[in-house]
Structure 1
Amino acid sequence: MRVEGNHRKVEYLRGLSHLHQHMRSHGCRYGFIMTEIELVVVRNGGESTPHFGYLEIQTIQLNAHDSPEVNTSFDGSYDEEEVKPPKMTALLALWYLHMLARDDTLPGQVGWKSEIGAPAEGTRRKCLPKDEWIPEPQLAEKREAKRARGWVWPEESVGRKELGKRGDLCV
């Protein structure tokens, strides 16, 4: 959907932003979306407080499968140099996501918990420039964002929607 017209790009981004919102509200670093044709695996940055809106994305086709092609000789031995690494399948990716969600982190990976904090801490202001392929939001999309969450751009101040009934910050 990224390479199609603006309408499809917006649809793609709407699904990712919905996932991003849930990941931030629950303090999760890893997530996924499964469609009819692919699994979209998402990581919310590699730092303890991730950049707002920055998602590392990998897609895996659901029909992908791994068939080990090992050249064996008549005596049952095989040549280790010709063994190919396993191909990433959707089930293998989901298992790996499950392993990343453990409390004990895997070597070379970051933990599942991201430190988002309260809205007053301003972690959504920590953002990177927008990619070139992302279309500019329409006026209706800006109005919808303002109505739903109280702000449009990450640099804006904390809105009333983010505050509680007595002025306390919602966490």
Structure 2
Amino acid sequence: MNKMSYSCFVMVIFILCVSSSYGAKVVDVDTICKGVINYTYCSNLLNSKPGESRDLISFAEYGIEVARVNVTNTINLIRTLIAKSGSNVEAKRHYKMCLYHFDEEGALNLVDEALEYFKKGNYDSASQSVGAIQVHASDCVSGESPGETPYPDTSQLPKYAHAVTQISEILGHIFHFIIHP
């Protein structure tokens, strides 16, 4: 290899190394999870991410995938609960209201919206979408109006909704680190 070729080769390697270090900020799981309400859930979730990539972008992508699965599972549960509520008008009303908060008009739409913003690099809007997911999950469990008595739900729905809230909170922290390096 002549001197000119070697110099070009070294320059290309240097540029690739520098650009890759700017493209994907690595933050350890402990740092991400330190500020969330349930540190253990956050740590277990992020440490279960398959693959070797441990940068914020890969954590965000994984978190959005997990959020979509959780929201879809919640929708399936709600549909089952509606079918099983039979003549219990109050239960049926509650579950239909929850379906609204999780289905195409609510959390499911917001997960898809967050993914689209994420793909475009619009992390502020993606963060706002995951924040709105938390509101929808909370409205399902606690009611839509302040002072409203929550439905006394003994099903698994509050647990499912809480899981959606937790992953949304984790995503909010990840986007915070992406937006504010």
TM-score normalised by L of structure 1: 0.26
Q: Which has the higher helix share?
A: 2
Specify which structure has the bigger relative contact order, considering alpha-carbon pairs within 8 angstroms and separated by 6 or more residues: 2
Q: Which has the higher strand share?
A: 1
